[in-house]
Amino acid sequence: MTAPLRLSWMDVRETIRTRILDRTYAPGDRLPRDEDIAQELGCARTTVHRAMQDLSQMGLVERKRKGGTHVRADPVTRATFDIPITRREVEQQGRKYDYQLISREMEETPIPVMARLGIQQPVPMLHVKALHLADNRPFIFEDRWVDTRSTPGILDVDLQVQSANEWLVHNKPYSRVDVRFYAVIAQGESARYLATSAESALLVIERTTWIGQDPITTVQSVAAPGYQVAAQN
Amino acid sequence: MTAPLRLSWMDVRETIRTRILDRTYAPGDRLPRDEDIAQELGCARTTVHRAMQDLSQMGLVERKRKGGTHVRADPVTRATFDIPITRREVEQQGRKYDYQLISREMEETPIPVMARLGIQQPVPMLHVKALHLADNRPFIFEDRWVDTRSTPGILDVDLQVQSANEWLVHNKPYSRVDVRFYAVIAQGESARYLATSAESALLVIERTTWIGQDPITTVQSVAAPGYQVAAQN
DNA sequence: AAGTGGTCTAGACCACCTT
DNA sequence: AGGTGGTCTAGACCACTTG
C-alpha cells in the first residue's frame, strides 16, 4: 500500500487547483468549508487554510467570512513585477552602468505632477532629470519630482555622483506606491537622449510614492527603444 | 495600564517593518531568529512567521533556513497587476463592449512565435486576429496564435461570436504564464485598426501560456493610444 | 443569529543550508 | 553537525458578513 504520507499545504493546494481546473469546482461555485475539505483529505484545517490563502492570492478563488470560498467567475491573469534600482538592473545584465545628471532645479509643481502626487496646491519641489546608461548607451531617461517637505535630505545629496533613484531607495522608505506603464512617442528630451531613430515608441514606467499621506516623489522613467518589462513568473 | 492586547501578525509585521525603515535593522543586516522576536514581543513563533512570510513576499526581507532572515540590501519596487478579460475590463469602466473577428487561419508557426512558445519545430497553428471595442471605438487589437495540439477545442469555437480571449480563459486552464509589456510604433494592421494619428506609440501586453510543458497560446494585445496598465493597490 | 473564514497558541518534527 | 526557517496538529476564540 502507498503510505498515507502527511499532506503538505502545497499538496492540498494542488488538489483544489486541479478540481478547479477540471471543473469539479466550476467558476462561480462555492467550495466546501475548509473543515470539510480538511476532513476529506485528512489534514488539519490550518493546512487547508494555508492552501486557500495561496489560491486566493493567485486570484483563483475568493473568500469571505460566512460567505465561504468561491471559484472566481472571471479569472484574471495576475503577474508580479520587480522594478529594481536601475544600476542594479544594468549590472545584473553584466553591462557597465553609468549615470549623468542632466538638470536639477527647484520649481513650482506643475498641474499634472500635482495630480500624480494627489496634492491640491503647487509647492516648490526639486525637479531632477537624469540619464542612466548601459555600456555607454542610453538606457533610461528619468524625469523626477521630489517633495522637499517630506524629503529635505535630497537637497544635500550630490546628484552628480549618486542618482536620486538610488539615494531615495536606500534612504527614503515609503508606505505606498503607485506603478503604471504606458507608451509614448519619443519627443523632446526623451527623444534627444534616447531615440535612435526619428520615430520611436518608448515604454514609460511611472512610479509615485508616499509615506503615510505625504508625497515623496513621482518619476517617469522612459526606457530606451526595445526595453521590455517582464513578470517575475 | 494599557492592556497588553494580543498581537496580530499584522502588528508584528508593522513592528518589524518600522524597524527596517528606521534602520534598526539596516539593509543587509540579519534579523533575530523568529523565536527571539516572538519572545521579545510576547507572541507565538507562528505569529512572527506569518508576519515574516508577508515581509518576504513584499520583497523587504530574504529568508533562508539556517541562514536566518536578512533585510534585502537592494530593495525592489514590487507591483502586482491584474489583467482581466477584455470584455470585463471594458464593462467595468461602464462602457459598451464589442468585438470583431478580423481573421482566422491555420498557418505554420513563424520563428518569433516559436521562440515565444519555446518550441523548436514549426507546426500548423491557429492564427487569430481580432479587435475589441469600447463604446464603438477601437480598444485592443489582438494578434494570437493557438497551438491546436494542446487546444483542439478552439477549432470548434465560432470566433465571430466569442473572442478567443474569452473562450480560452473560461475553458483552458494554464499552469504557467509569461507576461511582458513593451511599446511599439503603430504600423501595419495595428495602426489601421487603432491609431488615431499617423505616429502613435502603442502599449503591447504580450502573454504566453503553457499547460505543463505544452504551449497553449501566445498573444500580443496592442492597446489603443492612451492606454495605461496600473498596479493593483 | 449563526456560519464561515481568520488568527493565535503551544508543541512537535522536518528540511534545508551554512559552517 | 547543528541552527534556522517551514510546516503540521489540535483546539480555542474572534470577526466579519450574510440570511
* Length B8 CA → C8 C1' (Å): 8
Give pLDDT, residue A6. Answer: 80
Q: Under DSSP, is residue B120 helix (H, G, I), strand (E, B) or coil?
A: coil
Q: A179, A196, A219, A222: which to substitute to probe chain B, counting the most B Cβ within 10 Å?
A: A179
Q: Which three cell numbers stand for residue A15?
A: 488538489
Give pLDDT, residue B101. Answer: 97
Query: What's the mean pLDDT when you consider all of chain B?
Result: 92
Average pLDDT over residues A27-45: 95
Q: Which three cell numbers stand for residue B137?
A: 471605438
* Res. B3 pLDDT band, cuts 50 70 90: very low
Which residue of B lies nearest to A169 if distances are taken between CA atoms? B75
Q: Which amino acid is at B16?
A: I
* Res. A5 pLDDT band, cuts 50 70 90: low
| Residues of A whose CB is below 8 A from B78 | 80-83
Query: What's the mean pLDDT when you consider all of chain A?
Result: 92
* Res. A3 pLDDT band, cuts 50 70 90: very low
CB contact under 8 A, A180 and B227: no
* Res. B87 pLDDT band, cuts 50 70 90: very high
Buried b (16+ CB within 10 A) or exposed e, B23-57: eebeeeeebeebeebbeeeebeeebbbbbbbbbee
* Res. A138 pLDDT band, cuts 50 70 90: very high
Among A169-173, B80-84, B118-122, which is the least confidently predicted range?
A169-173
* Length A80 CA → C11 C1' (Å): 36
Give pLDDT, residue A137. Answer: 95
Contact B87, B163 (CB under 8 A): yes
Is any atom of nucleic acid chain C found less than 7 Å from the CB of residue A50?
no
Average pLDDT over residues B190-201: 84
CB contact under 8 A, B229 and A173: no
Q: Which amino acid is at B126?
A: L
Q: Which among B27, B173, B180 has CB closest to A21?
A: B173
Is any atom of nucleic acid chain C found less than 7 Å from the CB of residue B41?
no
| Residue A39, H or E segment | helix A34-41
* Res. B4 pLDDT band, cuts 50 70 90: low
Q: What is the CATH T-level fold of the domain A9-71, as seen in this structure?
A: Arc Repressor Mutant, subunit A (1.10.10)
- Residues 6 or more apart from B90 whose CB is under 8 A from it? B96, B97, B132, B133, B134, B139
Give pLDDT, residue A4. Answer: 52
For residues A15 and A35, give the distance between their C-alpha atoms in angstroms, rounded to a whole number: 15
Q: What is the pLDDT of residues A58-101, one digit of tens each?
A: 999 999 999 999 999 888 889 999 999 999 999 989 999 999 99
For residues A54 and A22, give the distance between their C-alpha atoms in angstroms, rounded to a whole number: 19
* Res. B1 pLDDT band, cuts 50 70 90: very low
Is any atom of nucleic acid chain C found less than 7 Å from the CB of residue A31?
yes
* Length B228 CA → D6 C1' (Å): 39
- For residue A219, which of A204, A208, A203 has the smallest C-alpha distance? A208
CB contact under 8 A, B180 and A228: yes
- Judge whether residue B2 has pLDDT over 70: no
The CATH code of domain B86-223 reads 3.40.1410.10
Domain boundaries, chain A: 9-71, 86-223
Most confident listed range (A17-31, A192-206, B19-33, B113-127): B113-127
- Judge whether residue A213 has pLDDT over 70: yes
- Residues 6 or more apart from A4 whose CB is under 8 A from it? A42
More confident of the two residues B212 and B120: B120
A173 and chain B in contact, CB less than 8 A: yes
Give pLDDT, residue A132. Answer: 97
The CA distance from B71 to the nearest CA of chain A, in Å, is 12
Q: In what order do the strands lie in the sheet with A176-185?
A: A97-108, A124-134, A137-146, A214-223, A201-211, A176-185, B229-230
* DSSP E strand stretches across chain A: 61-64, 68-71, 77-83, 97-108, 124-134, 137-146, 176-185, 201-211, 214-223, 229-230
Q: What is the pLDDT of residues B20-72, one digit of tens each?
A: 988 899 999 999 999 999 999 999 999 999 999 999 999 999 999 999 999 99
Among A26-40, A165-179, B44-58, which is the least confidently predicted range?
A165-179
B111 and chain A in contact, CB less than 8 A: no
* Res. A2 pLDDT band, cuts 50 70 90: very low
More confident of the two residues A59 and A206: A206
Give pLDDT, residue B47. Answer: 96
| Residues of B whose CB is below 8 A from A85 | 74-76
More confident of the two residues B212 and A195: B212
Is any atom of nucleic acid chain D found less than 7 Å from the CB of residue B51?
no
- Residues 6 or more apart from A89 whose CB is under 8 A from it? none
A180 and chain B in contact, CB less than 8 A: yes
Residue with cell 502588528: B11
> Which CA distances in Å does A96 have to A87, A106, A193, A196, B120?
9, 31, 18, 20, 33
- Judge whether residue A230 has pLDDT over 60: yes
C1'-nearest nucleotide to the CA of A38: D9
Average pLDDT over residues A24-37: 94
CB contact under 8 A, A228 and B79: no
- Residues 6 or more apart from B226 whose CB is under 8 A from it? A182
User: Judging by beta carbons within 10 Å of its beta carbon (0-12, 13-18, 19+), is residue B58 exposed, middle or buried?
Assistant: middle
More confident of the two residues A213 and B180: B180
B120 and chain A in contact, CB less than 8 A: no
> Is-above-0.85 flag for pTM?
yes
Give pLDDT, residue A1. Answer: 42
Give pLDDT, residue A37. Answer: 95
Average pLDDT over residues A213-231: 96
